[in-house]
Structure 1
Amino acid sequence: MDIEALATDDDVSASQRLNRLWPLDEVNPEKARFPCCIVWTPLPIVSWLAPYIGHVGIGREDGQVLDFAGSNFVNTDNFSYGAVARYLQLDREQCCFPPNLSAHKCKQSYKHAENGVAISWDDALHWSMQHFQHKYYNLFTCNCHSFVADCLNRLAYNGSVQWNMLNLAALILRKGQWVDGMSVFRSFSPFVVVLIVGILMAGWPFLVGMATFSFLLIGWFILRIYCMKVLD
């Protein structure tokens, strides 16, 4: 009898979850619709020197993209710095939407509750948007990656509330999908041109300088995120 009751409860829970997670529309780059996606595009000048760095945003369930574009300002459906070049659609089933503390399915329920929980994907994005509309933009400490990471922490995506600029960037680089061949071209062609011109004008020391720049940049973010006790 207890087994039957448990099975019934599981069926009800699954049914409620499916009702809450209604089907999403298809990703449509032509209309700039990226439902439940992390999106990426290269940054002028910065990406010419370090093509692994770009501007990121996150899509609502209707596909409209939100991005932290400047101090006290979160863009809606007007992605900064051009069209999306790369995207990664996330699975809402890997998020935690607890009706109460005991219903958490993430690994750090108390930390999740402390950071802020959400009842849906769009609810998490809404609260992060409200939070970042009162924050100052800084490329090195509080940027577009910080905003998307905050959204993922409210969602407890993949059971984690430890999302930050570095592991978010690594996720996009590792699993992101290019929109088309032209997106690849416009993301890397400026870097290749800078590289060729730099080598022709300065020789191999230019490559050493570029490598040093990347090393210092990545080193700063590691120091900032894992060593410095600074609140965003």
Structure 2
Amino acid sequence: MPRGRLPIMDPKTGYDVECDGSRIQHDLWPLDEIDPKSVKFPCCLVWTPLPVVSWLAPFIGHVGICREAGAVLDFSGSYFVNVEDFAFGAAARYVQLNREKFYCGTKCCFPPNLAGHTCKNGYQHAEYGTALTWDDALQSSVRYFEHKSYNLFTCNSYSFVANCLNRLCYNGSMNWNMIAVAALLMFKGQWVDFMSIVRSFLPFVVVFCLGLVLVGWAFVIGLFLISLLLLVWFLLGTYCVKTLLES
């Protein structure tokens, strides 16, 4: 299968599914080990620095979310979701998610009608679309973002990952957004290796030093103001004008 193209969905699933009243129960099969060399990060969020943008603001990057088999999915352009071809370079940081925190905290609620929706998020979760499996939820987000225009400031890779987590109702929450995804990676993420740290911060250090030498403290102040404005934009768009940013 060519890299970067969506595969035809295999009807065979990695789950044993049993009906129990209005719920559908799943026995989770064990995940493979994380293997950065093969670009396999089962059920992980992954992060890589963005060219130019991360040179000025190293806390900003490009993110993706991985299927159970480890394939990376990332929203990298208008009407396009990459598969197994992580845009902007290899993953530098990752955090593995716990599948047991999917399924509304227990097991996936998949009722025959809205009135039978039993999780605490009820109708809101039904609007997003409940999922039978982890990969099923991700595929629903892929189909949704195939009709979305990419915009670094309003609809980007963080929006796609947040949408996936909301469809999963991960950790029992339907409030995943860009800031929450960024915070999860920042505070829980692990570096792939030492060179990933160098690749992520060396360009910023070089730009900072050159700017300081050639321009002086005015460059440092300008750089700080750019970072502050970006932070304020995403905070306001996430928590004050909630229709501004996609999630």
Q: TM-score, normalised by structure 2?
A: 0.84
Alignment match, 1:158? 171
- 1:30 equivalent to 2:47? Answer no
Provide the C-alpha distance between the structure 2 equivalents of 1:197 and 1:117, rounded to a whole number of angstroms.
51
Q: How far 1:18 sits from its partner (Å)?
A: 5.6
Provide the C-alpha distance between the structure 2 equivalents of 1:133 and 1:18, rounded to a whole number of angstroms.
29
Alignment match, 1:53? 60
Q: CA RMSD in A?
A: 1.7
Provide the C-alpha distance between the structure 2 equivalents of 1:134 and 1:18, rounded to a whole number of angstroms.
31
Alignment match, 2:198? 185
Matches within 5 A, 1:119-138: 119-138=132-151
Q: Secondary structure at the match of 1:123?
A: helix
Provide the C-alpha distance between the structure 2 equivalents of 1:147 and 1:118, rounded to a whole number of angstroms.
16
- AA aligned opposite 1:158: N
Query: Which runs of 5 or more residues in structure 1 are unaligned?
Result: 1-11
- AA aligned opposite 2:234: F
CA deviation string 1:80-138 (max 9, x = no partner): 00100000000010012213265644x42221112211111000000000000011100
- AA aligned opposite 1:211: F
- 1:82 equivalent to 2:89? Answer yes
Matches within 5 A, 1:133-152: 133-152=146-165
Count of aligned positions: 217
Contact 2:237 2:245 (8 Å CA) reproduced:
no
Matches within 5 A, 1:1-232: 17=25, 19=27, 21-96=28-103, 97-100=108-111, 102=116, 104-105=118-119, 107-228=120-241, 229-230=243-244, 232=246
Distance 1:51 1:113, change over 3 A: same
CA deviation string 1:193-212 (max 9, x = no partner): 11111111122222211111
Provide the C-alpha distance between the structure 2 equivalents of 1:209 and 1:52, rounded to a whole number of angstroms.
16
Percent sequence identity is 57
Query: Which runs of 5 or more residues in structure 2 are unaligned?
Result: 1-19
Q: Secondary structure at the match of 1:193?
A: helix
- AA aligned opposite 1:221: F
Distance 1:225 1:206, change over 3 A: same
